[in-house]
Structure 1
């Protein structure tokens, strides 16, 4: 969940960097005098190492990408992963207690590929956030892939992670970036070690991340296209409520603004087929549970400050039942009618109010239930594949010059292609330091692809190019 960081190191010996084999520093020099101009900078696995002229030493960049060997930051980044990444920084002399935070980001990558609501719909539904005008985020020089809401100390972002990181599946990124540390000074977060404190971090996530999502107003235009079904007394105000410019120009007090927000959400819950904010909270809930889970088990009690939000949103983001008498909001034409609370399929969004209590998916077929199950299975496969690819990249990088690679195809191991073609499973045997490693299928094809890239750039001795057996 922690991604971008900017830290300043104190009591630091600069020679640890200047003599480090993995850091190659560049600096501008004057043509006339040869004098160094500006800061010395080195880049390694998604992080920028900076030595300023006055002696300050800083690290900027994505610690998530650093954990993935600089490849990407588009997968899940748990608290355990963050802890490992911080420990890996000790290679460059980073002591968490002496690393002062100058800015950092917290955010989640939400997989929207199986929610029946794509990333663009989520982005287009944002009406209001923190009372500031939104600005477009550019990705690869093109606008329209996300929005940024910038306040005095914090920047809030919603954008298409698939487009930014060239991923294979739909991914929505929601992020809170602290540009000035006074935004978090009340939480006692001053150094990198404070982000390793689960109590401080969970309280920060709840107040500065989850709360801002609760306060953000979402409205899906297609769900209530006209005011025909609305009560007469709300038709006029509804035209303003669904207009994003109206919320920005509105100079009413916070109490009045919250009243209008609650009215709009009430109308959405009653007259729209689905509530996009509820679906978004469900996606966030799944990621939060994965973020806070440790290898010791499936309990999340170490992040106590997140429990209230997780528990209150665990059933389609609805409030817990109480013994308080229920007051049903309705217009004058249907007084006395108590309407059932609408429920929707967690996968396709279809209304399932008439199904038995506790149903999560459509009962007319197993399609949605199977999709939910397959999502869990694909997540496990994705994690396994990324781990294997990281291992392959490490082998090629560290012992590439001594690598002997043999590609084999077992003629007996055949399978039928959907188009009627005969296929053979690709396998490779890697020999290094007298030890043999075997890779099969997609892992073998990935190894061959990366190996050939290195060979073309002359990072590996051409004599050790791929042999066919």
Structure 2
């Protein structure tokens, strides 16, 4: 469900963090990339103390990080997200409950009984607006604080094991989510079943607002109805102006509803609901700061190693810093540094909140074994995807 995110400045000693990462802070801006996550350091003035010091933000894919950077094409469950957050705290001192969240990317990988291109080609409009192509793998609709992407995941990651896997994802700013009734001020708020259910609702609403053009029988239709169907099953709708396109789309939606031609849309909504339920309904055990998995050969602690300098890529002046937060948004227990938020670490150590004390896992965790990563990831299995054939 959860994939990418972008944080505010981390409430950390960046000197200690850079030492853990093996990063030399010898430039105004430095990026450190590791297994799908990017640590971005920037030198700036603390307006409270007048001190020139480094600050750090974090962005990237927690799903890809869970698979040691190989891919993010399999299932990523709530138990996996909890495990990653514990690793981030143990390895880098990043505490989810005091780390500000700026935006988040969430979605599902669903297995189809046919090529994802069938869905991609049929999706012609989102709320009356054109989709833009994403290379040759899919389409997207992009607004200021919201982005919807639909694409062929197997084609993107070039793994035949994930053939016919469709990815539907949304990237949303925190303020957009707040307007939708979803409050996620910190990373730790992503560890909420209620939040995941809200994300599911947002995904379903997005699919509901897509106009799909499907082939339909023309028997018994009037000429106007036939022309209307041809308008959207072909490319005729592309030349319409905004107002006429909106009017004709409403007529088209009413017609396909009357004819009960809702195959793709209803199938996608059903698959999303089934997949989301599986992703969030996973039991787990938490003891001494780590997860303990019964009947599972790979322990989390095996991968809890500080990455070495050779395994990272350090670059300066990257596009990461173009998206730095502007303006002032007060954060609880926070302080200002050059108009950007830095949270202070509370004196108490609030661990990640869990829904229950000790419960055991009764299904397979989606972590990829190190040996499987060397072979470009693991294939999907029956519990990875709902509706798989």
TM-score of the aligned structures, taking structure 1 as reference length: 0.54
Q: 1:244 deviation in Å?
A: 5.5
Aligned Cα RMSD in Å? 3.3
SS at match of 2:253: helix
1:143-175: CA deviation from partner (whole Å, max 9, x where unpaired): x21111111211110111101122213211001
Aligned match for 1:214, one of 208, 213, 237: 208
2:279 paired residue number:
291
Distance in structure 2 (CA, Å) of the matches to 1:5 and 1:234: 45
1:350 paired residue number:
none
1:308 paired residue number:
none
2:127 paired residue number:
130
1:377 paired residue number:
none
User: Structure 1: which 5+ runs fail to align?
Assistant: 28-35, 139-143, 297-386, 399-445, 452-469
1:192-218: CA deviation from partner (whole Å, max 9, x where unpaired): 122122223322431x22111111121
Asked whether the 8 Å contact 1:24–1:42 carries over to 2, the reply is: no
1:457 paired residue number:
none
Distance in structure 2 (CA, Å) of the matches to 1:228 and 1:165: 42
SS at match of 2:243: coil
Distance in structure 1 (CA, Å) of the matches to 2:133 and 2:104: 21
1:106 paired residue number:
106
1:440 paired residue number:
none
1:193 paired residue number:
188
Distance in structure 1 (CA, Å) of the matches to 2:81 and 2:192: 12
List 4+ stretches of structure 1 deviating above 6 A.
253-256
SS at match of 1:6: strand
1:238 paired residue number:
229
Q: 1:69 deviation in Å?
A: 1.9
TM-score of the aligned structures, taking structure 2 as reference length: 0.65
Asked whether the 8 Å contact 2:103–2:174 carries over to 1, the reply is: yes
Of structures 1 and 2, the one scoring higher in RCO (CA 8 A, sep 6+) is 2
2:12 paired residue number:
12
After TM superposition, the structure 1 = structure 2 runs for residues 259-408 of structure 1, keeping only pairs within 5 Å, are: 260-267=252-259, 269=261, 275-295=263-283
Larger radius of gyration: 1
Q: 1:258 deviation in Å?
A: 4.3
Distance in structure 2 (CA, Å) of the matches to 1:126 and 1:253: 15
Aligned length: 286
SS at match of 2:185: coil
SS at match of 1:97: helix
After TM superposition, the structure 1 = structure 2 runs for residues 135-174 of structure 1, keeping only pairs within 5 Å, are: 135-138=132-135, 144-167=136-159, 168-170=161-163, 171-174=165-168
Asked whether the 8 Å contact 2:99–2:186 carries over to 1, the reply is: yes
Q: 1:70 deviation in Å?
A: 1.9
Distance in structure 1 (CA, Å) of the matches to 2:195 and 2:223: 48
User: Structure 2: which 5+ runs fail to align?
Assistant: 45-53, 285-295, 307-369, 376-389
Q: 1:76 deviation in Å?
A: 0.4
2:43 paired residue number:
53
